[in-house]
Chain A
Amino acid sequence: MASPALKTTHPGCAQSIVCDGNEAAAWAVALSRPDLVAVYPITPQSSLVEYVSQFIADGKIQAELMNVEGEHSVLSALHGAALAGGRTYTATCGPGLAFMFEPYWRTPGMRLPIVASLVTRDGITPQCVWGGQQDAMTMKETGWIQIYCETVQEVLDTTIMAYRIAEHHDVMLPVNICHDGNYLSYGVTQVDVPEQAAVDDYLGEKDVNWHVALDPLRPMAVDPLTGGAGGIGPSKFVAYRKSLCDGMQNALGVIEQAHQDWADIFGREFAPLVEEYRLDDADYALVTIGSMTGAAKDAVDSAREKGEKVGLIKIKTFRPFPIEAMTRALSKVRAVGVVDRSVHYGWNCGPLYQEVLSCLYRTGKTISARPFIGGLAGADLTEAHFAKAIQATATMWADETTIDSPIWLNEND
């Protein structure tokens, strides 16, 4: 059952409802008018696809629902539908995403504008059904656009924006909207649901297989054999790769425009790439991603009340990586503590930390940095954890040192 409506509050808003992040995502899917949704249930995604299914059963969405035998088939089914010109959607996470991997890493190369929610879940082993971003972060080199949400409202709004971004002709890439398992999937709050007509205007006409299609009227070789061994030589393969990289870079501007247009129509602004919070006069800052940011901002506010000049940098778009926006933000401080909700094996830190290091080089300044890892396997990241991170970062700032060994925030929880 979808949640009951509250009174309408904002322009472009059809109604306000109280719901969790999984239901919010389902509302976004409904408003985006997909043609095909394929699903396989997995914790903590299951209720999301159940909401979508109910919307289809109720006639709210004119779409086909395929309840298939596994995630490998889920994404393969979407490939077929996207090549036939359909707008498509699925959601998965964790082991389901891992099982989806073979069609998953083909999707960007075929330039299929599929939108998939990742209700992020930590990676096994050991066995765990709880939230964490290890699943999404493991996929960061595959060519999907990755956008991480902080709030339930942002999940709803960004999931609609994802179609605008994915289907932009300068992009034509699949998009993952990532929302933290447990915290956003089941966290309940009031959200505004946009009007259908306004969303229709925002997304515009669907045109998703102009470039590659399974269409008898436009016969073409989809995904041709390249390289040697009977193919047409390395140049074609390089052309595909370069084109995909170009699409990724084009996406930065498209993501910004999609957010700007959203704000103009619906009155809700979200930093599209990197958000700066109390940063302009800060000596040092935390860097965060996803739903942890709320508690981190509270910790920043508390520290500010004690006279600490601390700010916060939140990344929303992780792929493509917003190098300029992140470099600009980092340039404002002299020390950063980067909090990851996953592990970057081989660098003994989190993946966000490793990417921040690359941007620090571009600032041309000496900025101290330290990795923090927390929130694994559904562990709470509370204001107290961030207070600890702020304190450790303040010490680095005072000492002008960089310490590469991570602080594991939930080590003793």
Chain B
Amino acid sequence: MHGPPPEQLLKAKDYKSDVKPIWCAGCGHFAVLSAITKALAHLSLPPEQVALVSGIGCSSRLPAYTHVYGFHGIHGRALPIATGLKVARPDLTVLVTGGDGDGFSIGGNHFMHACRRNLDLTYIVMDNEVYGMTKGQASPTTDPGWEQSRLTPHGTGLPSFNPAAIALAAGAGFIARGFSGDPTSLTDLLIQGIQYPGFSFIHVLSPCVTYHPEQKAWKKTVHEQSQSTTADPVVAAQRIQQSDRMATGLIFKAISQVQQQQHPSKNISLEQISRQFVTHT
């Protein structure tokens, strides 16, 4: 394995793979990928000490585009896979990525239980309110009156899911909302989420320009939250319910009680890892 030695400052590009994303031009996920690599570079995390686990969907393609360890998992099951990985290798920084369909619909059950289990995972959900990969069906966060899907031509008629409210109710200690159109703030939220010693949930508004072209207007409607972060879940609940769901920032940060077990391999060097893959003749 080649790369800069650990003591050398890593750049965002060191975390990117040479695989070209196949996302549509203008997709919000490009900026999320960029923000993730910038956050990892800011924290100088050695790529071999970071794992990125995803589910299925457009945003779940993200691991292939990074240079960290990645696994493209099962639809809705990114969190259980990441949980198993984190329990076995608590020394690794484990990021989990996916979309609103993957995380809140088919994987909704795991979202709740990952929040309450409170392992030190960072869960980044790119929410564009649509299933993009299967060509534009309504997801749990889709507006009930959205009539552009061929599967629900008269809209779903169902109230949309409020991810931050569910995360809070299920016990998540770190809840933030970011926007792909503001990558600098998003990078900052990702850094804080990775540093938080417990389950951190970062809900990213990431437009789908193909199936939701009207989301281009998010540039105007997304705004910073007016209040500072709270550690009080009652206050957080009230703010989440009163919010227009377009307010970005760190909404809630509890004093985490997580006890992170340390793995003896935490300080293993890149050379030691490399040797595991060398065939001795």
Contacts and interface: CB of A to CB of B under 8 A. Distances in A.
A298 interface: no
A54 B153 contact: yes
B134 A41 contact: yes
Interface residues of B, number: 21
Interface centre among B108, B140, B152 (most CB of A within 10 A): B152
Contacts of A127: 72
A46 B137 contact: yes
A100 B108 CA distance: 16
A47 B106 CA distance: 19
Most buried by B among A46, A47, A95: A46
B100 to A, nearest CB: 12
A54 to B, nearest CB: 6
A261 to B, nearest CB: 34
Max chain A C-beta neighbours (<10 A), residue from B106, B133, B152: B106
Interface in B151-165: 151-154, 156
B153 A41 contact: no
Nearest to B64: A127
Contacts of B150: 47, 50, 53-54
Contacts of A95: 56, 74-75
B76 interface: yes
Interface in A68-90: 69-70
B125 interface: no
B217 to A, nearest CB: 26
Given A69-B108, A70-B76, A95-B74, A43 B133 contact: yes
Contacts of B56: 95
25 contacts: A39-B151, A40-B106, A41-B134, A41-B137, A41-B151, A43-B133, A46-B134, A46-B137, A46-B151, A49-B151, A50-B150, A53-B151, A67-B137, A67-B151, A67-B152, A69-B105, A69-B106, A69-B108, A70-B75, A70-B76, A70-B105, A70-B106, A95-B74, A99-B75, A99-B106
Given A43-B134, A53-B153, A70-B76, 18 more contacts: A39-B151, A41-B134, A42-B134, A43-B133, A46-B134, A46-B137, A46-B151, A47-B150, A50-B137, A50-B150, A53-B151, A53-B152, A67-B138, A67-B151, A69-B106, A70-B105, A70-B106, A95-B56
Interface of A: 39-43, 46-47, 49-50, 53-54, 57, 67, 69-70, 95, 99, 127
